[in-house]
Amino acid sequence: MRIESLRPAEHLGNVTIHGVRRFLELDSGASNLPHLQESREVEIVDQQAISDVEKKMAIVLPIKDEDLKVFEGVLSGIPHDCLMIVISNSSKQEVDNFKNEKDIVNRFCRITHRQAFVVHQKNPELANAIADAGYPELLGEDGLIRSGKAEGMILGIILTMFSGRDYVGFIDTDNYIPGAVWEYAKHFATGFNLAQSPYSMVRILWKYKPKLVGDLYFKRWGRVSEVTNKHLNHLISSKGKFETEIIKTGNAGEHAMSIELAKRLTYGTGYAVETKEIMSILEQFSGILPIEDREVAEEGVEILQTETINPHLHEDKGGDHLLQDMLLPSLAVIYHSPLADDAGRKMIETQLAGMEGFDAGTQIPQIKLIPPPQKMDLPKFSAIIEKYLPQIILPDGELFSRAGRPSRLPSLGQFKKIVYTDLDGTLLNPLTYSYSTALDALRLLKDKQLPLVFCSAKTMGEQDLYRNELGIKDPFITENGGAIFIPKDYFRLPFAYDRIAGNYLVIELGMAYKDIRHILKKALAAACAEIENSEKAGNIFITSFGDMSVEDVSRLTDLNLKQAELAKQREYSETVHIEGDKRSTNMVLNHIQQSGLEYSFGGRFYEVTGGNDKGKAIKILNELFRLNFGNIHTFGLGDSENDYSMLETVDSPVLVQRPGNKWHKMRLRNPSYVKGVGPEGFSRAVTDIIIPME
């Protein structure tokens, strides 16, 4: 994608609203053409980066008695890697439109080898699960989910959270142009690549919204959007010193959010939802009002706006629909906001008084608000809804398999213990790589059905070798958080992943090995040049696994030839051996950091990465464990500086002794110390700390 470079932005405290950026090219060509000099006026997001986001994104498709041919076209426009979530509130009476919609999706998914959630907004099982999970605000007096666009969107957010996706997008199903639908999804993925904050929203401005008035007339703006944008911009202007027209997407039905933002927002019912999203961001996170979520405040919230190339052509539902259903609710959430001033409220009153169908003097209604979806107990909802999955996941007969899942799940209120362990120097003897003295402890963990997750600098091949020898079937984290390997069918609920490797679903977090090698080569050359020109620096010897033969790696590490071969099969990190004085070594490490790479020391070697670490990977895996098991308590077993991010992230960090019977010094929250080097310390951690803890 080729898009205009960054536009001016408005900053309201912790909230950044970016100006509209036009898409210039929907396919910007190959990304590996370094000889091409790009204009400063454009920015490129390559296809791989877009694809990476699409694999982690769900697209919510709300539908209510739409033309089925148009609906089929919309399905065809959704990129293949996006999860489709169809939320229907269609008729189920004389003509069962919902059944027809479900049949269409079922056939489409079977032919295209995809999966989708298809639910009716009035599904009683979903309503009961939501109520039992502590989120009754979504329900009406009849105990079912209320009718309304916002309610359907929130149900889509809940199912996105359930699926483990990181992003959620919304696309209306009355769109006559499948190419426009495809473009919307590409805008979403591009926007999330451009965003700096994990709390981000992408809102789409249609280039044209054609109308049939005799001939096809390409109108630049929608009727409701013009009015809503004016009043949103007035509110923003009133909080700053300068007038602004930054908002162009006040009623953007096509928009997307990171799930971390979506689950935190307060929503307005019905068609107030899109405008209320902007108001909630300003009310909750700008700092104009007291902020409760400090985590979001520290990162900030970004609203990105992009303009399409395709026009947006949909059914015209008439002026009454626009005023009563769309414009009035949109203006009402601005009017009743604690951020609104008297002048802004007067403007809205005047606006409505001059519109046909609104009587002067009529009070502007309060819109019912729905609290953030994160209020709901997601593990409880997941446990309840699991038995209904055959009814809502398509195609029929191809549900997510339950094979290989733990035979016993903890009841709510209990904790599932999860054990993360380093390998070299912890489970494995630091000199011999033996685990023999830990076998009894390993059997004990297996008997108690406690997951044991390897979290090491070792490669996938190295770890898989030990896992097969020990009969361990749990996920594992490779190359200091470079990737998470999860056995197929291990988790009962679906989640987003980047690729499939044999029997594993892989979540990739690290930089590609070839890119690390390329950057590292330049950094080491610069470091050696500085050392050579320094009178105070001593001699230094540097070598990397990628530059060594299998035999050389074996001699340096004391690994056998098979293990050394597996150690060289790196995907997300490079192992570097440095011999030299402290000054020279520090020069090398400084150049590595200045290049944008990171390093950690494991006792013998430096592990160089693109910024991933064990702690980041553990946080992601913990979310999957919580989603599937409910409450968890995590243990981390390590011995060196290389384990710091793991030990800092878990609930109960445990340090085993290093050679010389000493513990590595590091600042941790409530660490435990066990005697014993390597597997001896591992065994004591299991028998003395992990198993006894209730």
How far apart (Å, rounded) are the C-alpha atoms in residues 626 and 649? 15
Closest to 61 measured CA to CA, from 186, 166, 155, 187: 155
For residues 203 and 72, membership in a common domain is answered with yes
Give 399's pLDDT tier (boundaries 50, 70, 90).
very low
In a domain, 409, yes or no: no
- Beta-bridged to residue 255, according to DSSP, are 170, 203
Please confirm, yes or no, whether 422 is among the known catalytic residues.
yes
How far apart (Å, rounded) are the C-alpha atoms in residues 469 and 32? 41
In a domain, 34, yes or no: no
For residues 500 and 533, membership in a common domain is answered with no
Between 26 and 679, the higher pLDDT residue: 679
For residues 499 and 525, membership in a common domain is answered with no
Alpha helices in 416-459 (DSSP H): 439-447
Whether 215 shows a pLDDT value over 70: the answer reads no
For residues 161 and 271, membership in a common domain is answered with yes
- Give the model's pLDDT for residue 398: 54
How far apart (Å, rounded) are the C-alpha atoms in residues 694 and 690? 9
For residues 544 and 643, membership in a common domain is answered with no
- Give the model's pLDDT for residue 212: 45
- Give the model's pLDDT for residue 213: 44
Q: Is the peptide bond before 198 cis (omega within 30 degrees of 0)?
A: no
- Give the model's pLDDT for residue 600: 87
Give 218's pLDDT tier (boundaries 50, 70, 90).
very low
Average pLDDT over residues 33-39: 51
Q: CA quadruple 441, 446, 450, 453: dihedral positive or negative? A: positive
Whether 216 shows a pLDDT value over 80: the answer reads no
For residues 210 and 297, membership in a common domain is answered with yes
Domain encompassing residue 250 = 2-27+40-393
End of a domain among 609, 630, 658? 609
375 in Cβ contact with 270 (< 8 Å): no
Give 366's pLDDT tier (boundaries 50, 70, 90).
very high
How far apart (Å, rounded) are the C-alpha atoms in residues 326 and 328? 6
191 in Cβ contact with 304 (< 8 Å): yes
How far apart (Å, rounded) are the C-alpha atoms in residues 639 and 673? 10
* Residues 6+ positions from 581 with CB-CB distance below 8 Å: 537, 538, 539, 540
List own/partner pairs for 663-666 with CB under 8 A and 24 or more apart.
Answer: 663/639, 664/639, 664/640, 666/641
- Give the model's pLDDT for residue 33: 46
In a domain, 294, yes or no: yes
How far apart (Å, rounded) are the C-alpha atoms in residues 313 and 218? 9
Tell me which DSSP letter residue 424 carries.
Answer: B
How far apart (Å, rounded) are the C-alpha atoms in residues 624 and 451? 13
In a domain, 403, yes or no: no
Instruction: Give buried/exposed letters for 564-601 (b at 16+ CB in 10 A, else e).
Output: bbbbbebbbbbbbbbebeeebbebbbebbeebebbbbe
For residues 165 and 108, membership in a common domain is answered with yes
- Give the pair of three-digit tokens for residue 272: 């107030």
Query: Catalytic: which of 81, 166, 325, 422?
Result: 422
In the block, tokens 């205009």 appear at 4
How confident is the model over 116-151, as pLDDT tens digits?
999 999 999 999 999 999 999 999 999 999 999 999
For residues 350 and 432, membership in a common domain is answered with no
Give the Å distances, CA to CA, from 69 to 44, 73, 498: 35, 6, 32
In a domain, 402, yes or no: no
* Residue 216 one-letter amino acid: L
- Give the pair of three-digit tokens for residue 568: 């060289």
How far apart (Å, rounded) are the C-alpha atoms in residues 562 and 541? 26
* Residue 459 one-letter amino acid: T
For residues 423 and 534, membership in a common domain is answered with no
% of the chain residues with pLDDT over 90:
68
The gap from C-alpha 403 to its chain's centroid, in whole angstroms, comes to 26
Whether 466 shows a pLDDT value over 70: the answer reads yes
pTM flag (> 0.75): no
Give 353's pLDDT tier (boundaries 50, 70, 90).
confident
Give 208's pLDDT tier (boundaries 50, 70, 90).
low
CATH code for the domain of 226: 3.90.550.10
Between 445 and 220, the higher pLDDT residue: 445
Whether 401 shows a pLDDT value over 50: the answer reads no
Give 528's pLDDT tier (boundaries 50, 70, 90).
very high
CATH code for the domain of 602: 3.30.980.20
Residue 362 phi/psi, 5-degree rounding, is: -70, 135
- Beta-bridged to residue 88, according to DSSP, are 63, 120
For residues 678 and 603, membership in a common domain is answered with no
201 in Cβ contact with 256 (< 8 Å): yes
Closest to 376 measured CA to CA, from 136, 102, 616: 136
Whether 402 shows a pLDDT value over 80: the answer reads no
How far apart (Å, rounded) are the C-alpha atoms in residues 123 and 243? 47
Count: domains in the chain: 3
How far apart (Å, rounded) are the C-alpha atoms in residues 520 and 512? 12
Average pLDDT, the chain: 88
How far apart (Å, rounded) are the C-alpha atoms in residues 334 and 340? 7
Tell me which DSSP letter residue 542 carries.
Answer: E
- Give the model's pLDDT for residue 550: 95
How far apart (Å, rounded) are the C-alpha atoms in residues 99 and 177? 24
- Give the model's pLDDT for residue 324: 61
* Residues 6+ positions from 501 with CB-CB distance below 8 Å: 460, 485
In a domain, 399, yes or no: no
- Give the model's pLDDT for residue 40: 66
Tell me which DSSP letter residue 536 carries.
Answer: S
In a domain, 619, yes or no: yes
End of a domain among 586, 609, 632? 609
Residue 294 phi/psi, 5-degree rounding, is: -70, -30
Element (H, E) at 385: helix 378-385
151 in Cβ contact with 271 (< 8 Å): no
How far apart (Å, rounded) are the C-alpha atoms in residues 602 and 606? 6
Tell me which DSSP letter residue 399 carries.
Answer: P
Give 404's pLDDT tier (boundaries 50, 70, 90).
very low
Ordered DSSP codes for 56-83? TEEEEEEESS--HHHHHHHHHHS-TTSE
How far apart (Å, rounded) are the C-alpha atoms in residues 357 and 286? 35
Ordered DSSP codes for 521-533? HHHHHHHHHHHHT
CATH code for the domain of 460: 3.40.50.1000
Give the Å distances, CA to CA, from 335 to 203, 248, 351, 364, 619: 22, 19, 12, 8, 40
For residues 502 and 582, membership in a common domain is answered with no
In a domain, 592, yes or no: yes
For residues 625 and 599, membership in a common domain is answered with no
The widest CA-to-CA distance across the chain, in whole angstroms, is 90
For 86-90, 577-581, 653-657, 666-670, which range has the lowest pLDDT when averaged over its residues?
A: 666-670
End of a domain among 609, 630, 653? 609
- Give the pair of three-digit tokens for residue 505: 């679903």
Ordered DSSP codes for 189-257? HHHHHH-SSSEEEEEEEPS-EEEEESEEEEESS-HHHHHHHHHHHHHHHHTSSS-------TT-SSEEE
How confident is the model over 291-338, as pLDDT tens digits?
988 889 889 999 999 999 888 776 665 555 455 678 889 999 999 999
**Pairing of the two strands 199-205 and 301-307:** parallel
For the chain, the straight-line distance linking the first and the last C-alpha, in angstroms and rounded, comes to 53
Instruction: Give buried/exposed letters for 188-219 (b at 16+ CB in 10 A, else e).
Output: bbbbbebbebbbbbbbbbbbbbbeeeeeeeee
576 in Cβ contact with 543 (< 8 Å): yes
